[in-house]
Amino acid sequence: MGSLHMRNTGLPTLLFFALLVAAAAPALAGNIVCWKDKTGKTVGCGDTVPPEYQNNASQELDKHGITVKKTDAALTPEQQKAAQEELQHNQEAQRQQEAQRRQDKALLDTFTTPQEIDLKRDRDLQLVQSNLETLQSNMKNTDARLAQLQTRADGYAKSNKPMPQALQDEIDQTTADKTKSDQEIAEKKQEIADIRQKYSNLKQRFIELTGKQ
């Protein structure tokens, strides 16, 4: 059987479908399919969907005009991209939720009170603080050494004598040591700040989960 195309009858669309299927039923051995255009408007019915409408939405009806199957329109490239992005977003959200669940379990398995979190924080800070104090002490020695070297260099300058290359090399090396120490001290201070923030977050989360203060 060929296609049965709609024409404007003034009847409601669903009623027109029913009349159309009923009229076609004697000539059909099985179900018929109705297809839509790009706007979602049904434009024809028949035993097969025409090639030019293959990617559009359609619905299959039995001889009584009852819908037995619906097929959505094929997604456009933009819709496919949006669907893929939404899928990735949902998968990432699920991964984050699972990671949070594991972290919460580990937190509750490790600590029983907020005070225990404070004690663990203080133990972790103690070692870093000790390292920081050592670095700061070494920095004082480096500053003192650099000051001595600079005084010697100033003496050569005042007497209009050329500064020995060995002295310049030592100044350069001590200056480089000072720069390195400055960086190490800054890193240790940041590490201390990170530890405090880490345990603050853990404590807050623990209280949220247990209600313990």
Tell me the per-residue pLDDT of 34-67, one tens digit each, with 9 for 90 and over: 888 888 888 888 888 888 887 888 888 887 778 8
Q: 86: burial class by Cβ within 10 Å (0-12, 13-18, 19+)? A: exposed
Average the pLDDT over each of 2-11, 76-85, 86-95 and give the range with the smallest value.
2-11
The three state secondary structure string of 17-32 is HHHHHHHHHHHCCCCE
Residue 56's alpha-carbon distances to 36, 75, 90, 125, 208, in angstroms, are 6, 9, 27, 65, 51
Q: Looking at mean pLDDT, say which of 23-32, 46-55, 66-75, 186-195 comes out highest.
A: 186-195
Phi-psi region of 142 (alpha: psi -120 to 50; beta: other; left: phi over 0): alpha
Compute the distance between CA of residue 184 and CA of residue 196 in angstroms, rounded to an integer.
Answer: 19
Q: Which helix (H) or strand (E) holds 136?
A: helix 114-158
Compute the distance between CA of residue 33 and CA of residue 15 in angstroms, rounded to an integer.
Answer: 16
Could you tell me where the beta strands, DSSP code E, fall in the chain? 4-5, 32-36, 42-46, 58-61, 67-71
Tell me the per-residue pLDDT of 89-142, one tens digit each, with 9 for 90 and over: 999 999 999 999 999 999 999 999 999 999 999 999 999 999 999 999 999 999
> Which residues does residue 45 pair with via DSSP β-bridges, in sequence order?
4, 34
